Amino acid sequence: MPSPMTPGIVPGRLSETQIAANFADLHAPLDPHEAAVAADRCYFCHDAPCITACPTSIDIPLFIRQIATGTPEAAARTIFESNILGGICARVCPTENLCEGACVREAAEGKPVEIGRLQRHATDTLMARQGHPFTRAAPTGKRVAVVGAGPAGLAAAHRLAMHGHDVTLYEARPKAGGLNEFGIAAYKATDSFAAREVEWLLGIGGITVETGKALGNGLTLVGLKGQFDAVFLGVGLGGVNALRTAGEDKDGVRNAVDFIAELRQATDLTSLPVGRNVVVIGGGMTAVDAAVQSRLLGADQVTIAYRRGREKMSASVYEQDLATSKGVRILHNVKPVAVHGNAAVAEVEFEHTVEGPDGLKGTGERFRIAADQVYKAIGQTLTTDGGLALEGGKIAVTGAGRTSVAGVWAGGDCATGGADLTVTAVAEGRDAAEDIHAALMGVAG
């Protein structure tokens, strides 16, 4: 929260009515007729590129055909068999870079089948009408610890429980959900959907959730290995990289992930303070989410500053365009060199950059931007690894998440592997769970 030294950061810049409109669902759900029309556009490709583009390998043509034939619950089951968090993924996946980007309609017409919205239609329908779609297998007598209740941990816990293992799911925060609950823009998952999805997922049974516990805070890897038959780590990335610039410790400078988490847990967004001039440093989804939500809270000027060109931003083109449509200015090829002000930030000084054969360099040309609030969104770091072998600052894994220690698996953002996306984390948690199951039942070596 801002201190008294930052008078420009205040709550209530917009009315309750304006805030409600600004943070409404980004994409309205399809009604049954709209879903039928959207499904009818699918070619139902035999060798569907959309399946290959999906990290969880959902049979997309099949579930769309099931929607087209009026059986959205069957479509949802098809989705959940591959991705138990298909509801949130339908809301937050960068589909323009994944399934929809690979759609044949996109290549032919520049307008893909709305796979994400169709997936949401199916999963929302089943979750509203039916109980849990899967039945737990007979108990195996095996116990597995899952540390971290984010997408990877939840997916692993569910698949392990479905196979009949008893799972204890440990989470450092007061509630489960990970980035789905604390780390994405509020307009992407409205009406407490992330929390409701967790409750629904736990309907499989066999999963005990213990909050307020993490590696190094009530848990040790040695202790877990002694108590459980296997351990899965989905601890995410808890640390935030520093700017390494003079003045970044001034009042008004904070981590974007903390701001987003605070906003997601706020019961009254009109009470959340926001500055008039907000600067977000970074080029990923966190930077976009922090910048857009600052605008939606009533900031006058919001600027995203990224050190490389637009094509190097990890935020998708769609997300970049969303930001600019909300009035966010995006500056490319600029890096912060100093934060100015007395006790609190007043300006951020930047230097233009160029990228050449020797990497990124400053040009010497500098300028300043007025700022009463600065958010750092320049990547996160692993804060706890349990003493496991690391690679590139993450837990090194081979195969389906096997770490350097026998009996310990890892997946999601904390582990080496694919892109840091919810859907990738789900795939890694699911696949690690299958490998754990095989190992526990004597199938794998």
Q: At 77, which CATH number?
A: 1.10.1060.10
For residue 385, give the nearest of 364, 361, 373, 403 by alpha carbon.
Answer: 403
pLDDT tens per residue across span 172-210:
999 999 999 999 999 999 999 999 999 999 999 999 999
Same domain, 260 and 371: yes
Into how many domains does the chain fold? 3
| In-domain check, residue 25 | no
Average pLDDT, the chain: 95
Q: At 216, which CATH number?
A: 3.50.50.60
| In-domain check, residue 1 | no
| In-domain check, residue 270 | yes
Q: Quick one: pLDDT at residue 428?
A: 98
Same domain, 308 and 372: yes
| In-domain check, residue 20 | no
Same domain, 70 and 176: no
Q: Which residue has the higher pLDDT, 385 or 156?
A: 156
pLDDT tens per residue across span 25-39:
999 999 999 999 999
Checking if the pLDDT of 12 tops 80, the result is yes
Q: Quick one: pLDDT at residue 419?
A: 84
Q: Quick one: pLDDT at residue 382?
A: 94
Same domain, 151 and 124: no
Checking if the pLDDT of 332 tops 50, the result is yes
Please give the residue range of the domain that contains residue 269. Answer: 240-376
**Average pLDDT in the 128-144 region?**
94
Q: Quick one: pLDDT at residue 3?
A: 44
| In-domain check, residue 176 | yes
- Whether the Cβ atoms of residue 230 and residue 144 lie closer than 8 Å to each other: yes
Checking if the pLDDT of 251 tops 50, the result is yes
Share of residues in the chain with pLDDT > 70 (%):
98
pLDDT tens per residue across span 345-364:
999 999 999 998 989 999 99
Q: Quick one: pLDDT at residue 381?
A: 94
| In-domain check, residue 414 | yes
Same domain, 354 and 433: no
Half-sphere exposure of 239 toward its Cβ, with a 13 Å CA cutoff? 11
**And the tokens for 153?**
């941990």
Checking if the pLDDT of 90 tops 50, the result is yes
Tell me how far apart the alpha carbons of residues 157 and 145 are, in angstroms, rounded to a whole number. 9
Checking if the pLDDT of 335 tops 80, the result is yes
The three-state DSSP-derived secondary structure of the chain is CCCCCCCCCECCCCCHHHHHHHCCCCCCCCCHHHHHHHHCCCCCCCCCHHHHHCCCCCCHHHHHHHHHCCCHHHHHHHHHHHCCCHHHHHHHCCCCCCHHHHCHHHHHHCCCCCHHHHHHHHHHHHHHHCCCCCCCCCCCCCEEEEECCCHHHHHHHHHHHHCCCEEEEEECCCCCCCHHHHCCCHHHCCCCHHHHHHHHHHHHCCEEEEECCEECEEECHHHHHHHCCEEEECCCCCEECCCCCECCCCECEEEHHHHHHHHHHCCCHHHCCECCEEEEECCCHHHHHHHHHHHHHCCCEEEEECCCCHHHCCCCHHHHHHHHHCCEEEECCEEEEEEECCCECCEEEEEEEEEECCEEEEEEEEEEEECCEEEECCCEECCCCCCCCEECCEECCECCCECCCCCEEECHHHECCCCCCHHHHHHHHHHHHHHHHHHHCCCCC
Share of residues in the chain with pLDDT > 90 (%):
93
**Average pLDDT in the 200-225 region?**
96
**Average pLDDT in the 150-177 region?**
98
0.75 cut: is pTM over it? yes
Same domain, 291 and 393: no
Checking if the pLDDT of 401 tops 80, the result is yes
Same domain, 72 and 112: yes
Confidence of residue 6 (pLDDT cuts 50, 70, 90): low
Tell me how far apart the alpha carbons of residues 209 and 176 are, in angstroms, rounded to a whole number. 8
Q: Quick one: pLDDT at residue 8?
A: 81
Q: In terms of DSSP bridges, do strands 239-240 and 359-370 run parallel, antiparallel, or are they unpaired?
A: unpaired
Same domain, 171 and 267: no
Confidence of residue 131 (pLDDT cuts 50, 70, 90): confident
- Whether the Cβ atoms of residue 287 and residue 249 lie closer than 8 Å to each other: no
Same domain, 248 and 214: no
Same domain, 150 and 174: yes
Tell me how far apart the alpha carbons of residues 120 and 132 are, in angstroms, rounded to a whole number. 16
**And the tokens for 295?**
């605008």
Task: Among 376, 393, 422, give the residue marking a domain's end.
Answer: 376
**Average pLDDT in the 257-282 region?**
97
Same domain, 234 and 244: no
pLDDT tens per residue across span 359-400:
999 999 999 999 999 999 999 999 988 899 999 999 999 999
Same domain, 169 and 264: no
Q: Quick one: pLDDT at residue 4?
A: 42
Checking if the pLDDT of 440 tops 70, the result is yes
CB atoms within 10 A of CB 254: 19
Confidence of residue 1 (pLDDT cuts 50, 70, 90): very low
Q: Which amino acid is at 156?
A: A
Q: Quick one: pLDDT at residue 68?
A: 98
